């Protein structure tokens, strides 16, 4: 599970292999999170500035580092499928 709180922070819990542990991106999730999207294995948070932060299974969308430049701003929405 993952939740966006009224202060704009986000938290996640559950199976750490499937996004239940967001400690690696907790600093980025501390504020300005607008929405969270998920697949079976990962989560992506859309922030108020249009940036995206992902966590979870790195082989199934949980590692956004290859696309960090493209996801650093300007994203309006995110679509997901069951596995990707």
Average pLDDT over residues 9-26: 96
Give pLDDT tens digits for 43-52.
999 999 999 9
Q: Is 40 exposed, middle or buried (0-12, 13-18, 19+ CB in 10 A)?
A: middle
Placement of tokens 């999207």 in the chain = 37
Other beta carbons within 10 angstroms of residue 37's beta carbon come to: 17
pLDDT at 24: 96
What three-state secondary structure class fits 78? coil
What three-state secondary structure class fits 4? strand
Q: What is this structure's pTM?
A: 0.94
The whole-angstrom separation of Cα 34 and Cα 67 is: 20
Give pLDDT tens digits for 55-83.
999 999 999 999 999 999 999 999 999 88
What three-state secondary structure class fits 79? coil
Does pLDDT of 84 surpass 80? no
């Amino acid at each position: 599970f993952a939740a966006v709180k009224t202060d704009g922070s986000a938290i996640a819990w559950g199976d750490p292999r499937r996004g239940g542990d967001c400690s690696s991106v907790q600093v980025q999730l501390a504020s300005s999170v607008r929405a969270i999207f998920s697949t079976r294995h990962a989560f992506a948070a859309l922030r108020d500035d249009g940036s995206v932060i992902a966590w979870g299974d790195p082989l199934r969308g949980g590692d956004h580092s290859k696309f960090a430049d493209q996801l650093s701003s300007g994203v309006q929405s995110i679509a997901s499928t069951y596995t990707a």
